[in-house]
Amino acid sequence: MAEPISQTMAGCVVLVTADRRSGELGAALARRGATVRHAPAMSMVPHTDDAALAQGTREVIAQPPDVVVVTTGIGFRGWTEAADAVGLLDALLDVLGRARIVARGPKARGAIQAAGLQADWVAESETSAEIAEVLLGEGVAGMRIAVQHHGAGADGLDAAFAAAGAHVQSLVVYRWGPPPDPAALAASVRSAADGEVDVVVFTSAPGAAAWLAAADDADVRAPLRRRFTDGGLLAAAVGPVTAKPLVEAGITPLIPDRGRLGSLVRALVAHYDDQRTRALATVAGPLQVHRGAAVLDGRVLALSPTGLEVLRLLADAGGGVVGRGEVLAALPGDSRDPHAAEVAVARLREATSRDLIRTVVKRGYRLETVPR
């Protein structure tokens, strides 16, 4: 029998900003216990029926390149699919098979191999800068170089190769478009700024830049940055290229060792595993209070929103006393009746553990913590 998947992310609210493969990523996170929200920052517009791409493909076939630079796996697959749609696939693969193929990272190499071809060199850093450095260092004067571009548009390769004397054939296989649901995008940046989200996940640099631009439009960039800085909100990027707009904005994201969605999920699980080891130690077990739920000794607690807020208040005190007035302030409405605080705490005790919350006579309440 397969070992059950760890629920390390139970109670965490994760915002996925990707359009492509968002369902796959969200499902993987949900299997780890996370509550997943989707708000794509951009859409991807394929060029399958683009006349310009078909014409560019014919030019590549008519004037075979010496070097072919493949920048993205999905872009290369899209290129071959578009070529197949207009009857050019066999001729294109024949031309590519005789060229030196350079891949910008493992995903691009995988797509090349899926087409029955082999990459001659792979930029393990997954950056266009490494490709430019290597090829320009070798010399490209007089060479014909075909560059398959990703959705972000120009990345400097065309200009750098042309300036060094190469003839460049540029092929844009897909481009980024507006968000599929602008209202959902705007709501996502506000909810992240308001503390309703634990993690924001990014899978492309244009998507990260668009999400930050939406934060500017909603005038929440400052509170967002504070939440990222103080640890209340975590940014996670699939790789260093995706992370660049975040880093430039003063946000330090979690980045996996490899630029894969699976690696990103594993990095998040490892992060929350580490968080669990530093959870508040109580007599009822380790306690973690996330935005969407609380986890006590590995068990997600069945709490009302009010109960969650009261528990968060107590947990933030770290075993210190929380006055009845503070508990009342966390309750809905404007009641000042001490009995309302007593009822809320009693219900919380029923949902957690009767030994967890201690009443401090004439002062308030505190969690019963234990030394590590």
| Residue 91 and residue 62 in contact, taking contact as beta carbons nearer than 8 Å | no
CATH class assigned to 13-42+179-277: alpha beta
Domain with CATH 1.10.10.10 in the chain: 280-367
Tokens of 256: 């996996």
294-296, strands of its sheet edge to edge: 280-282, 285-289, 294-296, 299-300
Domain with CATH 3.40.50.10090 in the chain: 13-42+179-277, 45-177
Structure confidence at residue 151 as a pLDDT band (50, 70, 90)? low
| Residue 171 and residue 149 in contact, taking contact as beta carbons nearer than 8 Å | yes
Structure confidence at residue 124 as a pLDDT band (50, 70, 90)? confident
One-letter amino acid of 289: V
**Distance (Å, rounded) from C-alpha 331 to C-alpha 310?**
8
Lowest-confidence segment of 6-10, 32-36, 114-118, 230-234 by average pLDDT: 6-10
Q: Which residues contact residue 6 at a Cβ distance below 8 angstroms, ignoring those fewer than 6 apart? A: 32, 33, 269, 273
Q: What angle do CA 241, 244, 249 make, to 5 degrees?
A: 165
Architecture in CATH for domain 45-177: 3-Layer(aba) Sandwich (3.40)
Structure confidence at residue 276 as a pLDDT band (50, 70, 90)? low
Which CATH topology does 280-367 take?
Arc Repressor Mutant, subunit A (1.10.10)
One-letter amino acid of 226: R
**What does the pLDDT read at residue 334?**
72
**What does the pLDDT read at residue 48?**
55
Structure confidence at residue 212 as a pLDDT band (50, 70, 90)? very high
Please give the full DSSP string across 56-93, using - where no structure is assigned. HHHHHHHS--SEEEE--HHHHHHHHHHHHHTT-HHHHH
Give 365's DSSP letter. Answer: E
Has residue 40 got a pLDDT over 80? yes
For residue range 326-345, list pLDDT tens digits in order.
998 888 877 677 788 888 89
E strand map for 220-273: 234-237
**What does the pLDDT read at residue 3?**
42
Structure confidence at residue 183 as a pLDDT band (50, 70, 90)? very high
Whole-model pTM: value is 0.65
